[in-house]
Amino acid sequence: AQTVTQSQPEMSVQEAETVTLSCTYDTSENNYYLFWYKQPPSRQMILVIRQEAYKQQNATENRFSVNFQKAAKSFSLKISDSQLGDTAMYFCAFMRPNFGNEKLTFGTGTRLTIIP
Amino acid sequence: EAQVTQNPRYLITVTGKKLTVTCSQNMNHEYMSWYRQDPGLGLRQIYYSMNVEVTDKGDVPEGYKVSRKEKRNFPLILESPSPNQTSLYFCASSLNPRGLRTEAFFGQGTRLTVV
């Protein structure tokens, strides 16, 4: 079974600074997807960024980028020029695509606070 | 607008009183799933459905039922709720379980309290 570990329950950073959220996972699969979801106080689950394991290039979405280390099974999220609206819970998630259950396996989350 | 709609957003109920949380998506997605979110545990899958009349258990199915009579709807049923089912519930859907490119769309969440 796959597991996802987020070892930082809480983090805080000054506005405009850069912050990195850590995520490690355990799997024996070679083909899979990794995601970072953001959950603001509204509770909505918002997809921030995704990474296909077969792609060596790290995914980037505006101020959000990942450092995907497949051999180390590490998938960290970097937020540049952090903004107050980035304050949220962030979940790392793993998915093994198959012809059946496309289950997302989530980490326990990191609560990020951006300080004005 | 593409969306997954859950109702109700908030619900307080008493132990043993049957309840249903509805979930509807307007994207013609085949795959739908229910998760519960608990502090320190992240989100865990309860049940999933690959298509109409095709459902199966996830990681924490005890105490829950689902049905998939129509493609757009995937209700979560608690026949006899208990306090340990107090949680935040999410419905999610995605396009095609056989697609390589897949993204889960989540509903707004339902905060359930069982007293």
A73 contacts A26 by C-beta, under 8 angstroms: yes
Element (H, E) at A3: strand A3-5
Nearest to B59 by CA among A26, A104, A4: A104
The whole-angstrom separation of Cα B65 and Cα B56 is 10
* DSSP 3-state of B84: helix
Q: Assess whether pLDDT exceeds 80 at residue A109.
A: yes
How close A4 gets to chain B, by Cα (Å)? Answer: 10
How close B92 gets to chain A, by Cα (Å)? Answer: 10
Nearest to A12 by CA among A116, A92, A91: A116
Interface residue B42 vs chain A (CB under 8 A):
yes
Structure tokens of A33? 């997807």
How close B23 gets to chain A, by Cα (Å)? Answer: 15
What DSSP character marks residue A92?
E
Mean pLDDT for all residues in chain B = 93
Interface residue B109 vs chain A (CB under 8 A):
yes
The pLDDT assigned to B96 comes to 63
The pLDDT assigned to B104 comes to 86
pLDDT digits (tens, 9 = 90+) for B49-78: 988 999 999 999 999 999 999 999 999 999
Structure tokens of B70? 């129509």
Which burial class, exposed, middle or buried, applies to B38 when counting CB atoms under 10 A from its CB (0-12, 13-18, 19+)?
middle
Residues on chain B touching A99 (C-beta within 8 angstroms): 97-98
The whole-angstrom separation of Cα A112 and Cα A38 is 10
Q: Which of B42, B58, B108 has its CB closest to that of A106?
A: B42
Dmax over CA atoms of chain B, in Å, equals 43
The pLDDT assigned to B94 comes to 87
The whole-angstrom separation of Cα A90 and Cα A19 is 12
